[in-house]
Chain A
Amino acid sequence: AQSVSQHNHHVILSEAASLELGCNYSYGGTVNLFWYVQYPGQHLQLLLKYFSGDPLVKGIKGFEAEFIKSKFSFNLRKPSVQWSDTAEYFCAVRGSGGYNKLIFGAGTRLAVHP
């Protein structure tokens, strides 16, 4: 069965620190990969996505993620976080099974202190 693993459940950083959130998935076929963000009191929003091509994808608000097929990973990065990046981040994978079915990771809560 497909699964998504996010290794860090809670991350605490100071402003200007660099961020990397891990995401690994288990699926041997072609995948579409997503990172969603949920800011406090807001709905889930798409941060970035990978379908094909350049494995380094850029998203909104300075976020980027790198797809490493050999490691089944899609880690999210940001060189310098801000207080406004405090949110919960979800990695999601769409593999086979059709119908745009997404498998979500458990999420990582990021708290950025000023």
Chain B
Amino acid sequence: DGGITQSPKYLFRKEGQNVTLSCEQNLNHDAMYWYRQDPGQGLRLIYYSQIVNDFQKGDIAEGYSVSREKKESFPLTVTSAQKNPTAFYLCASSAKGFGNQPQHFGDGTRLSIL
């Protein structure tokens, strides 16, 4: 079955440490997205990518970095510059070129600070 796989499910970060969240999709979607979900705030867009080797900042990109070297992969690095990283991170994808295509979501990664 096609879908989006996020790993790990739970992740712990020490102070000053960078951590990388994995997102892989086999839906052949061109566009991929990273969101952060906090209680009472819904989902906020961190980064998105419409095509391989290209990505754009979302609304809350500070303290995060991404890469898009392959169509199926869009890893997110939470850097030490992100002072409040504890959150639930969701990866999504959608077909490119059709603006009304809905996004498909992964199961998420919950990041906590040790």
On chain A, the residues within 8 Å of B74 by CB distance are none
Residue of A nearest to B6 (CB): A43
Among A44, A51, A98, which residue has its beta carbon within 8 angstroms of that of B105? A44
Main secondary structure on B side of the interface with A: strand
Stretch at the interface among A14-22, A63-71, A74-82, A103-111: A103-111
On chain A, the residues within 8 Å of B58 by CB distance are 101
Q: Within the complex, what minimum Cβ distance (angstroms) separates B106 from chain A?
A: 6
B45 and A101 contacting across the interface, CB-CB below 8 Å: yes
B108 and A104 contacting across the interface, CB-CB below 8 Å: no
A46 and B48 contacting across the interface, CB-CB below 8 Å: no
Main secondary structure on A side of the interface with B: loop
> Is A102 on the interface with B (CB-CB < 8 A)?
yes
On chain A, the residues within 8 Å of B48 by CB distance are 99, 101
Q: Within the complex, what minimum Cβ distance (angstroms) separates B33 from chain A?
A: 8
Query: Interface size for chain B: under 10, 10 to 19, 20 to 34, or 35 or more residues?
Result: 20 to 34
Q: Which 8 A-B pairs have the closest CB atoms?
A: A44-B105, A104-B43, A104-B42, A106-B42, A43-B107, A51-B100, A46-B102, A43-B105
Which residues from chain B sit less than 8 Å from chain A, CB to CB?
4, 31, 35, 40-45, 48, 50, 56, 58, 90, 92, 94, 99-108
A100 and B42 contacting across the interface, CB-CB below 8 Å: no
Which residues from chain A sit less than 8 Å from chain B, CB to CB?
4, 6, 9, 32, 34, 36, 42-46, 49, 51, 90, 92, 94, 98-102, 104-107
- Give the docked Cα–Cα distance between A102 and B105 (Å): 13
A99 and B103 contacting across the interface, CB-CB below 8 Å: no
Q: Within the complex, what minimum Cβ distance (angstroms) separates B66 from chain A?
A: 14
